[in-house]
């Protein structure tokens, strides 16, 4: 199958991916966002409230994500539906293949696949999925209007979603593993939950089992201190107990942590040149919309630099029809300036060479690839092979190179 070609392909349409699309397409990179789900927006698209995005004091999470997408489309970023099954790399060329066997070619790839809701695997959880068990308040809240539900979890997401659910349900019981009054959520969210008349708490407890005849009817709760079990009558159970990174398709492509998150540098670089990871899918401490957007912006800027650097090297060195002399230098280093002046006065073009200057500060990737540790360094290449490499060459060493 013929592949469609792009400068930049972003896998995942959450805040990190769309922010990368804004920066990439605005830099005139032909940019594609591949999103596996019907609606773009990632994890925030499943939430309702959005109170902590700077400069936007009043909005919903889905409205904010819609604005992200509109912004990217303004700069001609493309959005397509597709679940990626594989990424293959061949130097500068990356092939992104979907489960429907669509193939897209890119010079750079940004992975923004985020994370999926964590499942506890308790008895009844899988059986009642879609029959009272849910992982998304925004998706399913209206199905539980005037009914009683249980929420499992006590972090920011759990408390935020519980507060949202109280707009629909009759009563909500939060099962919290900690001692009374102790929760993992931010203080302001804890206060809002404690003050909400529809929310009750069961402390020092875990959910043991979900029961029902066709639909959820009861939640079995166990006190972790006494071991005593009790049943709560309910019509639904919502789980908000963390997330698992969506990296199954990346095994052997990029380095992962033991928990499946992608290892990156602070520049969002993976161990594969030209492949970056952003947002909740990468190994990081803070996972918020604002930090995800920052990751996306950083990765897109880095990808642009990578593409420009690689394009230049491919066109002027690897595809050159003659031997190439490359001077690795810096405008802040006097020895570099002196050497470049000498080389420019040697009329190398007339001698059958192509002459290039590579600023090691601006072209870090090329410099690292050829292990340039000191400047000035002169290198002679025949195609992709290094024929000569000399650090701070003397007059005699320069003559020997030619």
Report, as residue numbers or ranges, the catalytic residues: 136, 139-140
**Which of 239, 242, 240, 244 lies closest to 281, judged by CA?**
244
Using CA atoms, how far residue 242 sits from 116, 118, 287, 342, in Å, is: 8, 5, 11, 61
Helix (H) or strand (E) holding 138: helix 137-140
Rounded Cα distance between 275 and 281, Å, is 13
Token couple for 131: 């029959």
Contact 298, 353 (CB under 8 A): no
Whether residue 171 contacts residue 145, with contact meaning beta carbons closer than 8 Å, is answered with no
Alpha carbons 233 and 219: distance in angstroms, whole number? 7
Distance CA 35, CA 32 (A): 10
Sequential DSSP letters for 179-231: STT--SS-HHHHHHHHH-TTEEEE-SEEEEEEE-SSS--EEEEEETTT--EEE
Backbone angles phi, psi at 376, to 5 degrees: -80, 150
d(CA 282, CA 256) in angstroms, rounded, equals 9
Q: How long is the chain? A: 402
Task: Give the C-alpha separation, 71 to 24, whole Å.
Answer: 12
What does 231-279 look like in DSSP terms, one character per residue?
EEE-SEEEE-S-EEE--GGGTTTS-B-TTSPBP--TT-B-SSTTEEE-G
Residues pairing with 238 in the sheet: 134, 151
φ and ψ of 228, to 5 deg = -70, 140
């Amino acid at each position: 199958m013929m592949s469609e070609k792009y400068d930049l392909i972003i896998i995942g349409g959450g805040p990190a991916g769309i922010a990368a699309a804004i920066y990439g397409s605005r830099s005139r990179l032909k940019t594609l966002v591949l999103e596996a789900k019907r609606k773009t927006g990632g994890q925030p698209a499943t939430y309702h409230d959005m109170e902590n995005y700077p400069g936007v004091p009043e909005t919903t999470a889905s409205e904010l994500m819609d604005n992200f997408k509109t912004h990217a489309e303004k700069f001609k970023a493309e959005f397509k539906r597709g679940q990626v099954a594989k990424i293959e790399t061949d130097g500068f060329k990356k092939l992104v293949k979907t489960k429907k066997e669509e193939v897209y070619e890119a010079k750079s790839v940004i992975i923004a696949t985020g994370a999926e809701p964590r499942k506890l695997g308790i008895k009844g959880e899988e059986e009642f999925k879609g029959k009272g068990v849910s992982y998304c308040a925004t998706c399913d809240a209206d199905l539980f209007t005037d009914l009683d539900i249980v929420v499992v979890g006590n972090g920011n997401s759990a408390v935020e979603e519980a507060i949202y659910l109280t707009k629909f349900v009759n009563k909500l019981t939060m099962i919290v593993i900690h001692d009374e009054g102790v929760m993992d959520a931010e203080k302001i969210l804890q206060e809002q939950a404690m003050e909400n008349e529809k929310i009750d708490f069961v402390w020092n407890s875990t959910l043991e089992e979900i029961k029902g005849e066709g639909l959820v009817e009861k939640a079995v709760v166990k006190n972790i201190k006494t071991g005593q079990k009790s049943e709560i009558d309910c019509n639904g159970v919502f789980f908000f107990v963390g997330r698992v990174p969506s990296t199954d398709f990346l095994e052997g492509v990029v380095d992962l942590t033991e928990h499946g998150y992608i290892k990156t540098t602070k520049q969002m670089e993976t161990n594969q040149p030209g492949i970056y990871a952003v947002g909740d899918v990468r190994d990081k401490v803070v996972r918020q919309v604002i930090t995800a957007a920052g990751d996306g912006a950083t990765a897109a800027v880095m990808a642009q630099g990578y593409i420009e650097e690689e394009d230049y090297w491919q066109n002027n060195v690897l595809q050159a029809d003659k031997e190439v002399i490359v001077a690795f230098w810096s405008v802040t280093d006097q020895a570099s300036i002196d050497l470049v002046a000498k080389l420019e006065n040697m009329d190398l073009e007339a001698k059958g060479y192509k002459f290039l200057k590579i600023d090691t500060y601006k072209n870090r990737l090329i410099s690292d690839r050829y292990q340039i540790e000191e400047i000035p360094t002169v290198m002679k290449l025949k195609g992709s092979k290094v024929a000569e490499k000399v650090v701070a060459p003397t007059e005699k060493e320069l003559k020997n190179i030619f």
